[in-house]
Amino acid sequence: MSLFSFLNRRSSAPMARERLQVLLAHERAQVGHSDLVGLLREEILAVIARHVQLDQDKVNVTMQRGENVSTLEVDIEIPVTASVRAA
């Protein structure tokens, strides 16, 4: 039995390689995206704040990765009392 399993033992390096490739593709995308979303949030906020008074915490930027398309969702809550500056 032990001799049989020794002969049948498959090499492990290809498995390591495949697991790393999948994992790192995922992790690189994640790290990149968290930076991108943070950056977008800052810049969108800056642009809107030039015209409308905003509560910094009421701005939500999320990104979702689909197979073919990714969606960027920007959700900004503007208070009724906000003074809209004339452009």
Partner 1 sequence: MAKVIVVTSGKGGVGKTTSTAALGAALAQRGEKTVVVDFDVGLRNLDLVMGAERRVVYDLINVVQGDAKLSQALIRDKRLETLYLLPASQTRDKDNLTAEGVERVIDELRKTFDWIICDSPAGIERGATLAMRHADTAVVVTNPEVSSVRDSDRIIGLLDAKTKKAENGERMEKHLLLTRYDPARAERGDMLKVDDVLEILSIPLLGIIPESMDVLRASNLGSPVTLADVTCAPALAYRDAARRLAGEQVPMTIPGERRGFMNKLFGRRAA
Is residue 26 close enough to count as binding partner 1 by CB under 8 A?
no
- In the complex, minimum distance from the CB of residue 7 to partner 1, in angstroms, rounded to a whole number: 14
Q: Which is nearer to partner 1, 33 or 74 (CB)?
A: 33
Q: Are the C-beta atoms of residues 63 and 70 closer than 8 Å to each other? A: yes
**CB of 42: closest distance to partner 1 in angstroms?**
16
Nearer to partner 1, 28 or 85 (CB): 28
Phi first, then psi, for residue 38 (nearest 5°) are -60, -45
Residue type, 10: R
Nearest-Å Rg of the Cα atoms of the chain is 24
DSSP β-bridge partners for residue 65: 70
Which residues of this protein are in contact with partner 1, per CB under 8 A? 10-14, 16-17, 19-21, 23-24, 27-28, 31
